Amino acid sequence: MKKIALTLVILSCFFPGINLSAQTHKVCGNMPDFDTSSAISERRHAFENAVKQTMQQGNWIFSRSPVTIPVVVHILWNKPEENVEDARIWSQIERLNLDFNAQNLDLEQVPDEFKPLMGNAGIQFCLAAQDPDGRPTNGIVRVPTEVRGIAGKLDQIYYSALGGSDAWDTERYLNIWVGDNTTDPGTATATGYSSFPWNETQANSGIIISLAAFGKNTSESWSMGRVGVHEVGHYLGLRHIWGDDSPPSCNDDDGISDTPSQFFFHFDCPDTPQQSCGNSNMYMNYMDYVDDQCMVMFSQEQCQWMNTVLALYRPGLLNSTVQCVQNPEEPLNTPFSIFPNPASRQIHLNFPGTVAEPGDILIYNALGHIVFRKFFILRSGITIDLPELASGMYFVKIGKSIEKVIIHP
Ligand code: ZN
Ligand code: CA
């Protein structure tokens, strides 16, 4: 609570014009403790030194076997509509898997100067199929509650007896708490919060995502589930890319050498380039505050850092034997080809060897935005009448299969 209040004070100080009740910007609750005399600050320094040392020795490489982190999602709901469908929960897991494996289509948005720095964390996530006692589960805990404004109620949401939901063994599971986070008029709405590896307990290790920003949703600024990506970044030891120093300056940074020093955070979808501290800023990084559709990458060193943190501080997740739930919406695996290509207002699809199968056909533009979506019975010779599209490269996606198509209307 103190941390969130601190963030808001900082926001209010530097953006006195912001109407916090109406703002649609991201506000993450995570700020490291900069009181250098505090025990937490000492633990953070010890943590950062240990991670750096392990990375310098190159030891992080050996821990980087394929890893799947079992997740339990605690849905804290009050109104029936807050008890979200499984599909939305799966969409959050899917987003983590895309972004932590550099499989997000919108990675193409990264400006050329930062493309050589794009990283792949190589970390998978799944809903846990076994609870801490080994009993079968779908990895989702649904708890009716009177607790509102969850990110400001940290003392309650982690405890079933107080209207929250007790964590599952935090050494073997990543706990994600989701709930309504609207508060009284005139107060801000934090979009997420995470424990840091150097500052957490068995009860509160994990992340919180405001329901409004959870999974795929219809909001303006956090519709893609990337608040979850940002918070898992914190959970795996990353700090905000601008370094969190208060007041903002160029003196402190995030401790990561391939993210250029940056004065403060960015909101919305900034133009390229954004400059401060004598650098072009990597504002499209998941650890900045830009809108979901504009944050698209981790840097290479951030990915090394997270893998090192897993090995050093969360080894129970690396070695977890908890089984995964099979995604009921597991995408189809249906290769296809497009003709003609380039195309103008119409494309046809062929499916070698595919008999009739139902499936969605999606078309994305180069920014990763869906420009077309329709349900089809997938058969060779399907014709798609395209909407009006600007010239350029598009991606047709069916299940796991993706093909490029050039459109010249
Ligand atoms: Zn944050
Ligand atoms: Ca940096």
What is the DSSP track for 174-228? Answer: EEEEEE----STTS----EEE-BTTB--TTT-SEEEEGGGSSS---SSS-SSHHH
Q: Which ligand is nearest to the CA of 244?
A: 1
Q: Please give the pLDDT value at position 25.
A: 72
Q: Which ligand is nearest to the CA of 242?
A: 2
pLDDT, averaged across the chain: 86
Positive or negative: CA dihedral 55, 49, 295, 121: positive
Using the mean position of ligand 2's atoms as its centre, give its distance from the Cα of residue 102 in Å.
Answer: 20
Q: Please give the pLDDT value at position 186.
A: 47
Other beta carbons within 10 angstroms of residue 372's beta carbon come to 16
- 127 pLDDT higher than 60: yes
Q: Dihedrals φ, ψ of 393, to 5°? A: -95, 135
Using the mean position of ligand 1's atoms as its centre, give its distance from the Cα of residue 242 in Å.
Answer: 11
From 40-49, 56-65, 110-119, 147-156, the region with the lowest mean pLDDT = 56-65
Using the mean position of ligand 2's atoms as its centre, give its distance from the Cα of residue 175 in Å.
Answer: 28
Extract the tokens encoding 209.
């995502």
- CB distance 54 to 312 below 8 Å: yes
Using the mean position of ligand 1's atoms as its centre, give its distance from the Cα of residue 123 in Å.
Answer: 19
Q: Give the integer Cα–Cα distance in Å for 85 and 251.
A: 45
Q: Which ligand is nearest to the CA of 288?
A: 1
Q: Which of 42, 231, 301, 329 is catalytic?
A: 231
Q: Please give the pLDDT value at position 34.
A: 62
Give the tens place of pLDDT for each residue, 264-290.
999 999 999 999 999 999 999 999 999
Give the tens place of pLDDT for each residue, 300-357.
999 999 999 999 999 999 888 888 887 766 666 788 999 999 999 999 999 887 556 6
Averaged pLDDT for residues 173-178: 98
Q: Please give the pLDDT value at position 136.
A: 86
Positive or negative: CA dihedral 210, 105, 196, 33: negative
Q: Give the Å distances, CA to CA, from 133 to 172, 281, 320.
A: 12, 47, 14
Give the tens place of pLDDT for each residue, 360-401.
788 998 888 888 887 677 778 889 999 999 999 999 998 888
Q: Please give the pLDDT value at position 71.
A: 97
Using the mean position of ligand 2's atoms as its centre, give its distance from the Cα of residue 256 in Å.
Answer: 4
Averaged pLDDT for residues 69-78: 97
Q: Please give the pLDDT value at position 199.
A: 92
Alpha helices in 236-330 (DSSP H): 300-313, 315-318
Other beta carbons within 10 angstroms of residue 195's beta carbon come to 22
Using the mean position of ligand 1's atoms as its centre, give its distance from the Cα of residue 26 in Å.
Answer: 9
Q: Give the Å distances, CA to CA, from 368 to 75, 118, 316, 325, 342.
A: 28, 17, 35, 27, 19
Give catalytic status of residue 231 as yes or no. yes
Q: Please give the pLDDT value at position 151.
A: 78
Averaged pLDDT for residues 6-23: 35
Task: Provide the 3-class DSSP secondary structure of residue 124.
Answer: strand
CA 234 to chain centroid: 10
Extract the tokens encoding 47.
């943590």
pLDDT bin (cut points 50, 70, 90) of residue 61 is low
Using the mean position of ligand 2's atoms as its centre, give its distance from the Cα of residue 369 in Å.
Answer: 29
- 137's CB contacts (< 8 A; 6+ apart) are 72, 128, 129, 130, 131
Q: Please give the pLDDT value at position 246.
A: 77
Walk me through the domains of the chain, giving residue ranges and CATH numbers.
2-236+283-318 (3.40.390.10), 337-407 (2.60.40.3080)
Residues with CB under 5 A from ligand 1 (ion): 28, 30
The residue count for the chain:
409
Q: Which residue has the tokens 């995502």?
A: 209
Residues with CB under 5 A from ligand 2 (ion): 253-254, 256, 259
Q: Please give the pLDDT value at position 354.
A: 59
Q: Give the integer Cα–Cα distance in Å for 231 and 30.
A: 9
- CB distance 61 to 158 below 8 Å: no
Task: Provide the 3-class DSSP secondary structure of residue 361.
Answer: strand
Give the tens place of pLDDT for each residue, 214-259.
999 988 889 999 999 999 999 999 999 999 887 889 988 899 999 9
Q: Please give the pLDDT value at position 24.
A: 61
Q: Give the integer Cα–Cα distance in Å for 242 and 248.
A: 8
Q: Which amino acid makes up residue 265?
A: F
Q: Which ligand is nearest to the CA of 287?
A: 1
The pTM (predicted TM-score) of the whole model is 0.77
Q: Give the integer Cα–Cα distance in Å for 215 and 92.
A: 4
Give the tens place of pLDDT for each residue, 183-211.
655 454 678 999 999 999 999 999 999 99
CA 214 to chain centroid: 9
More confident residue, 61 or 81: 81
